[in-house]
Amino acid sequence: MTDPDAERPPFGQRVKHRVKQLANAGDLANAVAVLTRRVDKAEAKVDRWGAVVNRLNVTHDVLVHQMTGVERRMDELVLPRAAEAAVPPAAAPSGDPAVAEAQAILAEIRAEHARVRVRLQLLSEYEERIRRLEAAVMAAKPTS
């Protein structure tokens, strides 16, 4: 039979090894504590940003409904007037049906062009409102 103590390292080496293990455990505990604090800070930031995102969602929903109403009113009020303004004075009547058809097509194209111009203007104004909203959000950005 072999002696079990013959294969074991000397007592001093075993103690030093165990002390190193315990020291490493203390380092790990410190690292866990540091990481826990960092996670808590990150959760606080997420909570603050969650509130900002919720406000933006509400604002976006309100703006969507407002834009729908504006577009509806624009279609009812502005587009017929723009189409009327785009129609040039009638040319001298000609007996040729091709000329009359061409004039009708030209009038329709001008009316559509006026409607597109109005829509592009509204789109430009909407983009400007979005830009101002984004700037306000960035200015109200919570500090870390």
CA atoms within 13 A on the CB side of 94: 11
The string of pLDDT tens digits covering residues 8-47 is: 777 677 777 777 777 777 777 787 788 888 888 988 888 8
Domain boundaries, the chain: 9-139
SS3 (DSSP) at 134: helix
More confident residue, 107 or 88: 107
Sign of CA dihedral 68, 72, 74, 75: positive
| DSSP 8-state secondary structure symbol assigned to residue 8 | S
Q: Which pLDDT score, from 0 to 100, does residue 88 have?
A: 56
Query: CA 82 to CA 61: how far, in whole Å?
Result: 30
Query: CA 10 to CA 128: how far, in whole Å?
Result: 79
| Whole-structure pTM value | 0.36
The string of pLDDT tens digits covering residues 90-122 is: 555 667 888 888 888 998 888 888 888 888 888
Q: Which pLDDT score, from 0 to 100, does residue 84 have?
A: 62
Query: CA 65 to CA 69: how far, in whole Å?
Result: 6
Tokens representing 70? 């504006």
Q: Which pLDDT score, from 0 to 100, does residue 80 have?
A: 64
Q: Is the confidence at residue 89, as pLDDT, over 60?
A: no
